Structure 1
């Protein structure tokens, strides 16, 4: 597929806005596992890209190019290809379909049978689906509600009239292993919160963990509150496969103004920006505060206000059948006498297409109840306004109109959106009175599939001569490095080139499978380093990019080092004490990153990613440069015999 391409930073080893970091070794290990898996499945490297992590909204294909290391951080560099034409979209859909089919079905048949046996199911039916989510799960109509009627049937003492389960009873009988995932130790099975807590209300997507986490925290910190939660009747999981899914979206809470008595009666509507409409699929949000009311409670007159909010969306909900729009809705009651929330619940209002076209043009106070209503959670008991707003904001995760309404200044929202988009960019604060070292040093590690060369070689490229003939060349600088390269490799019919700008993009060196790798690499790097030092001291070499490759576990490891020539020399002289070519890169990448920091403690340069699309680092040249060629005797004699016009 040939699509529009975007280069970007996918992740780093720095602390993110969720408060944790992923070590460079773990980032590298994930890449190694991914490539090894692709050798087995035959699928191309990379993953499908979906708008806002919604598996019902495919957007393109992403591929990690490699890990870029400098003294600031380790960055995962990747490229995203976006489908533009109809043909590209068809190809993308097919590729994504093959990927997800492989992803969900790669678990063993033994595991599937074990899951069925634990649930006392004799055999699969045609509608059953196995999915890999927070765990490996079986999706079947009423599979969980049949096994656990006490947690689902409204006739049970633990279930209310809306089908919500008493949350405290649930947590006493089962262990919550992660937000929304509960372990029944008796049957050794997992139960889950309802799928409507997922994007597009679909089993394909991750939970709204922000809300489910604070829901549980609220219960723990407010024992007087009565909590209820809707469970998923159609899902059971295998506890041995629990996985914590990472979805790194930065979601913030609002700055609050808690005086609800000042809020006027009536409806307010907040319209989404074009950005929010595209990424979050939200068109607008309607908020309704009703006029104060009174009622008798135990012969005491209680004054309260009712709050309702509904989110109107752009796209059909992929997890609903029959082309429906599932809109998040919440309802609360506020006690005027105690200045506290006394009741709070959330639901999904699902509309058929025709009903939704009517609903979207109406105000919430005139909309009526023309929807299929499914309540998801409920709190009864006194709750501070501050806590309620936090719960409300997290329930509507991804909808910036909620914190906007609740009191966040618009400028703050836009700033935080920008921070969320660029969460891996950091600014170094440097004392400008001290001299800043202008040395630079970086490394790049990429993995690729391909043939395993038997012998070591240096990879030639080609330049076009004025008479349009191709000349096979290697960039060596034509000095001491060239002499060393020619002593190591058979380059009899290859021309050496030098560009007189103080920069050398060395041709790539690949070590063969038949070599005694550590010894051959040490021999090469030692001799190369001596030649490099000579060219620094005598031939004006200032900057250099050095790419080398070797095979490990059927994968080609490509390591390139780039920077100030003196610093590259210093790193090369200790390279094989830092890395071990007989081990995966994940086992030595931390050592390499530490060595770069020691050699160049301060870096003010932005990462120069030139060359990463080709799998290695290089310097980009601009303007006119002087090119020198050093031709082998056989090539030179041939040119002299032919005497082309450009050589006259």
Structure 2
């Protein structure tokens, strides 16, 4: 059955590459005009994207004037100007010769083969508050070659968590949330999207409250970068101004832990670096940041969708799991009993 499915995907890929061969040729000529060497075999068809040209830093090569800041991010204001003449779906920045995309870490499973994980990118595309200076990471290694609007939507039932607690009343300290320990690994995968733990820390300095969160997945969840295997850990950092009663900064990244670093840190907490002589400084890719002045609701919604599908963030904000998770856990335990 699966073999037949993969054969069908291969036929679809060959068909689409052939159907767009003229467009591929035109894009290759465009690259040559910008002193980018011929791509040759660097084209692929990805069902949820279209025809993709892949090469390390290809976007930077064909768009050398792209304004990338010190964190490797691009201003949302700059992107919005490009979107005015574009009819692409969220996460895609159209042009006459190619379509840029936001970073693949915003996709399900952090994989280029999947669609955007709900609903972070869609929410980001709706940011209009002039008091918020927003930035996001682009996919510098892949661009879409077919420039016509391309829509591939997936339904999902993930929602942001309500949070009515006053920030000033949250004590400094560390929390570590874990899925129920009686769950089988397969159930954890299904309900908690492979989450092992969610580490949270609040700290204060003067009138500024700082929030940090790290989401660890199980040990078999890895990615490969430049031939090296890493454990991806999603990280959030935010600063809340008690005087203004609003957040002033909020950013998110994916940290890359080597296997030995992961094993050292996985069952520890944010105090690990303070207690250990072997301070861990994982490599990371920053994915977004907001500066300015924004509400608790804004922060909670983006936190919830950055950690999309993980009920632990919902539990942190509300004190309980979403109703559908509670119901699923109950059914599983009834069967076990």
Equivalent position SS for 2:228:
coil
CA displacement at 1:412 relative to structure 2: 3.2
Report the Cα distance in structure 2 between the residues aligned to 1:164 and 1:293, rounded to whole angstroms: 27
The equivalent position to 2:254 in structure 1, one of 348, 359, 366, is 348
Matches within 5 A, 1:557-568: none
1:213 alignment partner in structure 2: 122
Report the Cα distance in structure 1 between the residues aligned to 2:318 and 2:305, rounded to whole angstroms: 15
Q: 1:411 to 1:227 in 2, by over 3 A?
A: closer
CA displacement at 1:191 relative to structure 2: 0.6
The equivalent position to 1:383 in structure 2, one of 294, 300, 324, is 294
CA displacement at 1:349 relative to structure 2: 0.4
Report the Cα distance in structure 1 between the residues aligned to 2:161 and 2:322, rounded to whole angstroms: 12
Report the Cα distance in structure 2 between the residues aligned to 1:255 and 1:276, rounded to whole angstroms: 25
2:332 alignment partner in structure 1: none
Report whether the alignment pairs 1:282 with 2:195.
yes
2:159 alignment partner in structure 1: 252
TM-score by length of 1: 0.45
Tell me the alpha carbon deviations over residues 543-592 of structure 1, each in whole angstroms, 9 at most, x when there is no partner: xxxxxxxxxxxxxxxxxxxxxxxxxxxxxxxxxxxxxxxxxxxxxxxxxx
CA displacement at 1:348 relative to structure 2: 0.4
Q: Is the 8 A contact 2:118 2:156 kept in 1?
A: no
CA displacement at 1:255 relative to structure 2: 2.0
Larger Rg: 1
1:365 alignment partner in structure 2: 271
**Aligned pairs, number:** 308
The equivalent position to 1:167 in structure 2, one of 76, 86, 91, is 76
Matches within 5 A, 1:54-453: 92=2, 94-95=3-4, 97-109=6-18, 111-118=20-27, 120-121=30-31, 123-126=38-41, 128-151=43-66, 158-174=67-83, 175=86, 177-185=88-96, 187=97, 189-217=98-126, 219-220=127-128, 222-240=129-147, 242-273=149-180, 274=183, 277-279=188-190, 280-290=193-203, 292-294=204-206, 303-314=207-218, 315-318=220-223, 320=225, 321-367=227-273, 368-407=279-318, 409-410=320-321, 412=323, 414=325
Q: Is the 8 A contact 1:393 1:402 kept in 2?
A: yes
TM-score by length of 2: 0.83
CA displacement at 1:327 relative to structure 2: 1.3
Equivalent position SS for 1:249:
coil
Question: Where in structure 2 are there 5+ consecutive unaligned residues?
Answer: 33-37, 274-278, 330-337
Report the Cα distance in structure 2 between the residues aligned to 1:105 and 1:278, rounded to whole angstroms: 33
Q: 1:236 to 1:293 in 2, by over 3 A?
A: same
CA displacement at 1:234 relative to structure 2: 1.2
Report the Cα distance in structure 1 between the residues aligned to 2:139 and 2:122, rounded to whole angstroms: 17
Equivalent position SS for 1:98:
helix
Equivalent position SS for 1:338:
coil
Report the Cα distance in structure 2 between the residues aligned to 1:195 and 1:349, rounded to whole angstroms: 14
CA displacement at 1:394 relative to structure 2: 0.8
Q: 1:116 to 1:352 in 2, by over 3 A?
A: farther
Q: Is the 8 A contact 1:200 1:318 kept in 2?
A: no
Report the Cα distance in structure 1 between the residues aligned to 2:62 and 2:288, rounded to whole angstroms: 22
CA displacement at 1:369 relative to structure 2: 4.0
Report the Cα distance in structure 1 between the residues aligned to 2:68 and 2:159, rounded to whole angstroms: 33
Equivalent position SS for 1:390:
helix
Q: Is the 8 A contact 2:115 2:152 kept in 1?
A: yes
Equivalent position SS for 1:207:
coil
Report the Cα distance in structure 2 between the residues aligned to 1:329 and 1:181, rounded to whole angstroms: 24
Q: 1:332 to 1:117 in 2, by over 3 A?
A: same
Higher relative contact order (CA 8 A, sep 6+): 2
Q: Indicate the RMSD between aligned Cα atoms, in angstroms.
A: 2.4
Question: Where in structure 1 are there 5+ consecutive unaligned residues?
Answer: 2-91, 152-157, 295-302, 419-648
